[in-house]
Structure 1
Amino acid sequence: MLAFLRTQLQELLEQRAALKTELDGVLATPTTEKRNLTDDEQTAFDEKRDAIKAKDTEIEEKRSRIADLEEAEARDTKAAELRSKYGQAPAPAPAASGVTVTSEPETYRKGGRTSYFRDLYRSQHMGDRGAMDRLRRNDEQVAEGLEKRALTTVDGSAGEFVPPLWMIDDYVKLARAGRVVADQVQHQPLPAGTDTISLPRLASGTAVAEQTTQNTAVQNTDATASSVSASVATIAGQQTVPLQLLEQSPINMDTILLADLAADYATKLDQFVISNNAANKRGILNVAGLNAITYTDATPTVGEAYSKVGDGIQQIHTGRLLPPDKIFMHPRRWAWYTVSLDTAGRPLVVPAANMPQNVLAAMSDVVSEGFVGTLQGLPVYVDPNIPTGLGAGTNEDRVIVARSNDIILFEGTPRSETFRETKADQLSVLLRFYNYAALHSERYPKSISVVSGTGLIAPVF
């Protein structure tokens, strides 16, 4: 939870920095010309200043929430230290009696009455002092035995009785894509107590015109209004596991499974933002009225694709009257860019660290998802969740150019829970992970350009 809130705080700080840059831009010309602001400049200044104040309020609320959780975490840590100090203290030394103990039976042995895994469970979940003492004695016996007999954990010596740690600590996690696009649009906390978020919108605006004759009526055009709505979606998953697995496993299987549910939530949320196609829940690719750029070519080239991306950029300039700020594509499409050569055999995309000149694009970090470089002056993000089975041949991907701040993702706080009672009749535990989200992708359809067509079929390397 702290990591999630800290990520949101960082995004808010970045958004505030962007607003401050825009505010400085409004003041740049009047400062240079040493004059007061015009009416339009004053209006722009007031809008940016109010936006920064609103962002400061969000930042302060997020900081307060983080501070509360950090305080709770510190209290939990202190309590754990006290439990460790007073709950597992070494047993007091026996009074001198003239009797020397030369050996004692192993705490956990074949045919013994104590169970190592049961004691682990009882010490961790029930605070059983007896179990804690037996675990402590076992640690001492194992260490002493290995020291006296010079045994190792190599198979054939004593290794058969020591489970390799890599089998537990480095279990093979299921590979899942992250939430690149979802993290790059504007984020706002999901309001409580609603299933629909509606935003007012001007359908048509006012108008002005030249007054060609004095003392005649000036232009009078009434604005009309409408609204755009986003329905709140529930993204959830569950897993039923036997209680025996939770109690008898030497690792916390509930932690592993809940973490996997959280990872799949990130994937599904990202797919929701990119591809969902339901009323009031449109993903970016399905926004009605977006700038659709078709690239049809049986033998596509990076040079031709470059002009299509440029077309997407200029259409946002033309339709939204504000610039786009990000480009999204599948990793295979960016890889196609990076391996393409000019007629002299030189790469069209080279590392930014090489101070490139006359290149089509510059690449930064080599990653599977996230920021990878720049193209036509815009940052490029690769996202494996961008579909690759589109088009008539079900083998096309898409390139998205967007003004990301115009797309708003309202997201709640993820919740993870375990229920023993629900499946008590079959001795099972139900693990559940869920969250609520709403997406406003259709506020400004002309803020989105999507390049599609046969020119974006699976590239050949």
Structure 2
Amino acid sequence: MTLAELITQARETLNTSLAARQQEQDALMALRSDENLTEDAVAARVATRDAADAEVTRRQTALDQLVAEQVREEELTALAARTTPTGNRPPAYDRAARVGAEERTYRPDQDRRGSAFETDVAAAFIGDYEARDRLARHMQEERVERGDQLVRAAGTGAFAGLVVPQYLTDLYAPAAAARRPFADACRPHDLPPQGMTVNLSRITTATSTALQTENAAVSETDIDDTLMTINVQTNAGQQTLSRQAIERGSGVEPVVLDDLFRRYASTLDGTLLNQATNGLTNVATAVAYTDASPTVVEMYPKVLEGLAGVEAALLDQASGENIAVMHSRRWYWMQNAMSSTWPLISQPGITAQMSGVNLGTTYGSGVRGTLPNGTPVIVDNNIATNYGAGTNEDELYLVDRNECHLWEDPNAPMYIRAEQPKLASLGVLMVVYGYFAYTHARYAQARKIGGTGLVTPTFTGV
């Protein structure tokens, strides 16, 4: 077995250990929510979780050792190729070639616009072997620095997959994108390596207990489940560029690829929110807020009504990690309100007279703030703003984030394939794609606030 095969095997084993550790952590959190838990039970579960932690550490160490060994082997191979043993006297010190720290193949200090990388990609597809060698070195450098993310970036062909140097994507003004704030807040899972469905068993008929009359039959209800089938979906985009644009333009290819990445993220997130039948807007139970002159003070009780519905639906399955997901216009509207009233019950970390806390973070960076009852806020501009009869309403979602499940390929970032299907017209095709599956409906827990109270906001301080 080669070193590359051993590294691939070690990564797969590490992923399995990580999944097992997450299961142990989930089990521990579920146990802690049990009202009848004992210290011994918690200690036993913590010990099991810690054992899983140790296994992850052991697997990671083994992988790091293999990767380091592979890097060293490549360094020695390169060194052997650069030296030719002879019986001659060694050259003078100032005339001898020496090997030090090797620089990256594509460097921002030498090629800020990325033209060398673009030219090599195009040249490799018409048989330029030197360009292929440079791209191969670049891919090996990426595997060393980001190997855990690029296990399957390259396929069996010479250049089935290429990763654009990261510095190239930071030197221009990209088209704005809503990206994936809600998707990043969902409970993540690794997508199974095969199959186009994810199947879950859901108990639909529970057992029963009842007070027994002496000598009478004990209550019995046959437990039953229903198979929940979740489809694996493909998110993909492509762009065909002319060789003239790549070879004669400046920074064209990395700009296009980065824009495809942004559209990929936005499409994924928008699907989770808005897709017919399964999107959050279509599975959430409506909480109506109808008001011709809406105010933040009037809307806030609807938030509590929605959160109450989430917990009532989940009962002992509630994790307590509730989140509110809203459009940026709704978040700023809530911040604009001024009031002389405040909640009667204080919350941890919230000043009594405040109507929430703004954490001052940027869009897409996670939690933006908290509501007066401590619920974290996710701002996501993939939320539609054309609901209602006037096509000017948005919606505010309230969910237990651990019941918003998202399965993604563990080898993200997304794949890139550079091909040349139209040789006669000098075309270069770039494709970005990935597989995912999701569900918010394992339990009917999600709530959404909608209605005329959520029309385009006016910032009047109320």
What's the CA shift string for 1:364-418, capped at 9, x where partnerless?
1242233111112111111111111111111111111111111211112421110
Change (3 A) 1:426 1:57: farther
Q: Residues 118 and 247 of structure 1 are in contact (CA less than 8 Å); yes or no, is this contact kept in structure 2?
A: no
Change (3 A) 1:67 1:274: farther
Which residue in 2 is equivalent to 1:403?
A: 400
SS in 2 for 1:460: coil
Q: Residues 118 and 248 of structure 1 are in contact (CA less than 8 Å); yes or no, is this contact kept in structure 2?
A: no
* Residue identity in the other structure for 1:431: M
Which residue in 1 is equivalent to 2:237?
A: 237
TM-score (norm 2): 0.67
TM-score (norm 1): 0.67
Which residue in 1 is equivalent to 2:296?
A: 302
SS in 2 for 1:397: coil
Please say which of residues 426-435 and 48-57 is displaced more in the overlay: 48-57
Q: Residues 118 and 246 of structure 2 are in contact (CA less than 8 Å); yes or no, is this contact kept in structure 1?
A: no
Change (3 A) 1:271 1:81: farther
Pairing of 1:189-228 with structure 2 (within 5 A): 189-213=190-214, 215-228=215-228
Instruction: Pick one of 10, 16, 38 that aligns with 1:30.
Output: 38
* Residue identity in the other structure for 2:418: T
Instruction: Pick one of 447, 452, 456 that aligns with 2:454.
Output: 456
What's the CA shift string for 1:96-126, capped at 9, x where partnerless?
xxxxxxxxxxxxxxxxxxxxx8999479965
Structure 1 distance, partners of 2:311, 2:183, is 23
Q: Residues 325 and 402 of structure 1 are in contact (CA less than 8 Å); yes or no, is this contact kept in structure 2?
A: yes
Which residue in 2 is equivalent to 1:136?
A: none
Change (3 A) 1:430 1:68: farther
Q: Residues 206 and 223 of structure 1 are in contact (CA less than 8 Å); yes or no, is this contact kept in structure 2?
A: yes
* Residue identity in the other structure for 1:307: P
Structure 1 distance, partners of 2:29, 2:53, is 15
SS in 2 for 1:371: coil
* Residue identity in the other structure for 1:326: I
Deviation of the 1:72 alpha carbon? 10
* Residue identity in the other structure for 2:193: A
Structure 1 distance, partners of 2:207, 2:169, is 67
Structure 2 distance, partners of 1:267, 1:401, is 21
- Consecutive unaligned residues of structure 1, counting only runs of 5 or more, are 37-41, 87-92, 95-116, 133-166, 347-351
Deviation of the 1:64 alpha carbon? 8.3
What's the CA shift string for 1:22-47, capped at 9, x where partnerless?
5456599634xxxx7xxxxx6x998x
Structure 2 distance, partners of 1:50, 1:450, is 40
Change (3 A) 1:457 1:216: same
Which structure has the larger Rg over C-alpha atoms? 1
Instruction: Pick one of 386, 389, 395 that aligns with 2:386.
Output: 389
| 2:273 corresponds to 1:274 | yes
What's the CA shift string for 1:304-323, capped at 9, x where partnerless?
11100000111112121124
Q: Residues 327 and 378 of structure 1 are in contact (CA less than 8 Å); yes or no, is this contact kept in structure 2?
A: yes
Structure 2 distance, partners of 1:68, 1:267, is 37
Structure 2 distance, partners of 1:181, 1:49, is 30
Structure 1 distance, partners of 2:117, 2:193, is 43
SS in 1 for 2:437: strand
Instruction: Pick one of 362, 365, 368 that aligns with 2:360.
Output: 365
> What is the number of residues matched between the two proteins?
367
Change (3 A) 1:26 1:343: closer
Q: Relative contact order: is structure 1 or structure 2 higher (C-alpha 8 Å, sep ≥ 6)?
A: 2
Q: Residues 26 and 45 of structure 1 are in contact (CA less than 8 Å); yes or no, is this contact kept in structure 2?
A: no
Change (3 A) 1:274 1:122: closer
Instruction: Pick one of 369, 374, 377 that aligns with 1:377.
Output: 374
Structure 2 distance, partners of 1:360, 1:204, is 42
**Taking every aligned residue pair, what percent have the same amino acid on both sides?**
29
Q: Residues 312 and 449 of structure 1 are in contact (CA less than 8 Å); yes or no, is this contact kept in structure 2?
A: yes
Deviation of the 1:254 alpha carbon? 2.4
What's the CA shift string for 1:138-159, capped at 9, x where partnerless?
xxxxxxxxxxxxxxxxxxxxxx
Pairing of 1:341-360 with structure 2 (within 5 A): 341-343=338-340, 356-360=351-355
Q: Residues 12 and 58 of structure 1 are in contact (CA less than 8 Å); yes or no, is this contact kept in structure 2?
A: no
Which residue in 1 is equivalent to 2:328?
A: 331
| 2:293 corresponds to 1:285 | no
What's the CA shift string for 1:158-177, capped at 9, x where partnerless?
xxxxxxxxx99742211111
* Residue identity in the other structure for 2:212: Q
Q: Residues 200 and 229 of structure 2 are in contact (CA less than 8 Å); yes or no, is this contact kept in structure 1?
A: yes
Which residue in 2 is equivalent to 1:176?
A: 177
* Residue identity in the other structure for 1:372: R
Deviation of the 1:54 alpha carbon? 11
Structure 2 distance, partners of 1:425, 1:341, is 66
Deviation of the 1:76 alpha carbon? 11
SS in 2 for 1:192: coil
